């Protein structure tokens, strides 16, 4: 769960809202916060454009596990307590629901050991003296046994994307 | 049906649960831990999951029948892990499930794609955790990943549970029923030789719990 703490300060005709989001949980979270002030929200701007995450009266942001994040805005409305409320607190998500295994790999990272971690195969047979031929084949394990029954060439596990889901 | 047995943290007993759930469901157990395979394959020889994922063998060719549980073992070499195309795992699991009815996947620890792909391919998953402060947060992370990948979490197994496991707390946190499997020598002995505990002591509490787990997952 994400905690939201906030306070307001009046500067002349403007209410300044200062708030902090604290993710105490073990998971990253996506949260959305909404102004409770009875008036327009003036978000922080860069070159005249609202900062990333602001959309009208709401501010959306992703928080890593354990992350604290401060934010604020201004408004001509009178202060209320609390000035902001947490309206969404969701688990992290893929940018889009993955459609293919490749999407999953892109999102989560390829687990294959790096090439540097894999020793070059040792030749089984010492090369003949003066010979410049290719090294003898010698990976660290033999190839698969020949299949005992007929192999349907289409029955490889390598066709990637979707098959419309798992049969029941 | 493809059932992923996942848990986030290593050493919590995913392999034990996969083996016993596979026996209860009469399924093929697929050892999908490409880097650190765990399911004992016995002395049988033949192509393994590394070969399948490198395009050198068809998935059903790599299933070893005739043991206590049908098994698709994983190779044990770094070179094999390097050559394996993890994106092919989803298709391979579907083919095994189509040929044999049910595939139970022993997922690797962690949150990388080799743990994500079985969850992507699976229609159901079983989370495994030990009831301690280190493993439980990992189970919660895996629950979140499984939820995002649409692998419905059917059960959480509280493995190697002591006298007073935090069943209520875990069920509340994850929103799924828990199956408690107590610590047991019979389970350890059976798993070490790649056998389900029902073949060693069919009436012990863990054997009964795994049968119940199989019924819950199979019927749910």
Cα separation, A110 vs B173, whole angstroms: 30
**Bridge partners (DSSP) listed for residue A18:** A7, A72
Cα separation, A42 vs A77, whole angstroms: 11
Instruction: Produce one character per residue of A7-25: b if its CB has 16 or more CB atoms within 10 Å, e if not.
Output: ebeeeeeebbbebebbbeb
Contact list in A for residue B1 (CB cut-off 8 A) is 166-168
Q: Tokens 């016993």 identify what position?
A: B20
User: So what's the pLDDT on residue B89?
Assistant: 94
Nearest to B218 by CA among B106, B116, B123: B123
Find the residue in B nearest to A106 (Cα): B113
Q: Give pLDDT tens digits along chain A (168 positions).
A: 899 999 999 999 999 999 999 998 877 787 889 999 999 999 998 777 788 778 889 898 878 778 899 999 999 999 999 999 998 887 665 656 678 888 888 777 676 665 555 555 555 554 444 444 444 444 444 444 444 443 444 444 444 444 444 444
User: Tokens at residue B13, please?
Assistant: 């007993």
CATH number (domain holding residue B23): 3.40.50.300
Instruction: Measure in Å the smallest separation between the Cα of B193 and chain A Cα atoms.
Output: 23
Asked if A164 reaches chain B (Cβ–Cβ under 8 Å), the answer is no
Q: What is the pLDDT of residues B21-75, one digit of tens each?
A: 999 999 999 999 887 766 665 556 789 999 999 999 999 999 999 889 999 999 8
User: So what's the pLDDT on residue A69?
Assistant: 93
User: Tokens at residue B5, please?
Assistant: 């047995």
Asked if B90 reaches chain A (Cβ–Cβ under 8 Å), the answer is yes
Contact list in B for residue A112 (CB cut-off 8 A) is 34, 81-82, 84, 86
Distances (CA, A) of A167 to A16, A100, B142, B159: 56, 17, 23, 29
CB B34 within 8 A of CB B136: no
Instruction: Measure in Å the smallest separation between the Cα of B190 and chain A Cα atoms.
Output: 28
Domain enclosing residue B165, as ranges: 2-219
What total of structural domains would you count in chain A?
A: 1
**Is A141 a domain residue?**
no
User: So what's the pLDDT on residue B44?
Assistant: 64
Test mutation, A100, A149, A166, chain B, max B CBs within 10 A: A166
User: What secondary structure does DSSP assign to B59-123, as a single string?
Assistant: GGGGPBPSSSSEEE-----HHHHHH--TTHHHHHHHHHHHHHS-EEEEPPSSSSHHHHHHHHH-S
CB A57 within 8 A of CB A50: no
**How many CB atoms lie under 10 A from the CB of residue B73?**
24
Cα separation, B148 vs A155, whole angstroms: 29
The answer to whether A159 contacts B87, with C-beta atoms less than 8 Å apart, is no
The answer to whether A165 contacts B149, with C-beta atoms less than 8 Å apart, is no
Of A105, A141, A167, the CB nearest to B113: A105
Give me the numbers of helices (H) and strands (E) for chain A, helices first please: 1, 9
**B202: helix, coil or strand?**
coil
What total of structural domains would you count in chain B?
A: 1
**Is A21 a domain residue?**
yes
Nearest to B2 by CA among B123, B176, B131: B123
Query: How open is the CA angle A107-A110-A114, to the nearest 5 degrees?
Result: 150
Give contacts of A 27-66 with B, CB under 8 A. Answer: 27
Domain enclosing residue A64, as ranges: 2-90
**Is A121 a domain residue?**
no
Instruction: Measure in Å the smallest separation between the Cα of B4 and chain A Cα atoms.
Output: 12
Asked if B25 reaches chain A (Cβ–Cβ under 8 Å), the answer is no
Test mutation, A62, A89, A104, A121, chain B, max B CBs within 10 A: A104
CATH number (domain holding residue A42): 2.60.40
Who contacts B145 (Cβ-Cβ below 8 Å, separation ≥6)?
B6, B111, B115, B116, B119
**Is A142 a domain residue?**
no
Among left, alpha and beta (phi > 0; psi -120 to 50; other), residue A125 is beta
- Asked which of A102-111, B30-39, B86-95, B176-185 is least confident by mean pLDDT, the reply is A102-111
- Rounded to two decimals, the ipTM of the complex is 0.82
Asked if A141 reaches chain B (Cβ–Cβ under 8 Å), the answer is yes
Among left, alpha and beta (phi > 0; psi -120 to 50; other), residue A18 is beta
**How many CB atoms lie under 10 A from the CB of residue B21?**
29
**Is A158 a domain residue?**
no
Q: What is the pLDDT of residues B106-137, one digit of tens each?
A: 998 887 788 899 999 999 999 999 888 778 87
Asked if A152 reaches chain B (Cβ–Cβ under 8 Å), the answer is yes
């Amino acid at each position: 769960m994400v905690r939201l703490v906030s306070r307001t300060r009046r500067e002349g005709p403007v209410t300044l809202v200062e708030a902090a989001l604290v993710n105490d949980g073990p998971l990253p979270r996506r949260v959305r916060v909404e102004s409770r002030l009875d008036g327009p929200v003036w978000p922080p701007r860069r070159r005249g454009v609202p900062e990333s995450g602001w959309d009208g009266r709401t501010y959306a942001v992703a928080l890593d596990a354990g992350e604290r994040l401060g934010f604020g805005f201004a408004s001509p409305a009178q202060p209320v307590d609390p000035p902001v409320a947490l309206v969404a607190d969701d688990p992290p998500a893929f940018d889009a629901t993955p459609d293919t295994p490749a999407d999953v790999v892109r999102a989560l990272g390829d687990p294959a050991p790096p090439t540097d971690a894999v020793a070059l195969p040792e030749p089984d047979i010492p090369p003949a003296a003066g010979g410049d031929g290719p090294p003898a084949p010698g990976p660290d394990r033999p190839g698969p046994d020949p299949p005992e029954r007929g192999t349907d060439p289409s029955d490889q596990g390598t066709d990637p994307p979707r098959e419309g889901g798992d049969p029941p | 049906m493809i059932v992923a047995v996942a848990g986030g943290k290593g050493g919590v007993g995913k392999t034990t649960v996969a083996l016993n759930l596979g026996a209860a469901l009469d399924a093929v157990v697929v050892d999908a831990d490409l880097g650190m395979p765990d399911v004992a394959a016995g002395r049988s020889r033949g192509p393994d999951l590394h070969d399948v994922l490198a395009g050198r063998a068809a998935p059903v060719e790599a299933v070893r029948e005739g043991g206590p549980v049908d098994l698709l073992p994983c190779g044990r070499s770094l070179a094999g892990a390097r050559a394996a195309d993890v994106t092919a795992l989803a298709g391979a699991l579907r083919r095994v499930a189509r040929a044999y009815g049910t595939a139970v996947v022993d997922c690797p620890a962690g949150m990388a794609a080799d743990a994500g792909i079985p969850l992507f391919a699976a229609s159901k998953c079983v989370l495994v955790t030990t009831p301690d402060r280190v493993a439980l947060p990992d189970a919660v992370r895996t629950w979140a990943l499984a939820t995002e990948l649409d692998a419905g979490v059917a059960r959480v197994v509280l493995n190697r549970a002591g006298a007073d496991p935090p069943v209520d707390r875990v069920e509340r946190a994850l929103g799924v029923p828990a199956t408690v499997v107590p610590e047991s020598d019979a389970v350890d002995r059976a798993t070490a030789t790649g056998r389900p505990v029902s073949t060693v002591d069919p009436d012990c509490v863990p054997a009964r719990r795994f049968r119940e787990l199989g019924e819950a997952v199979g019927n749910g």
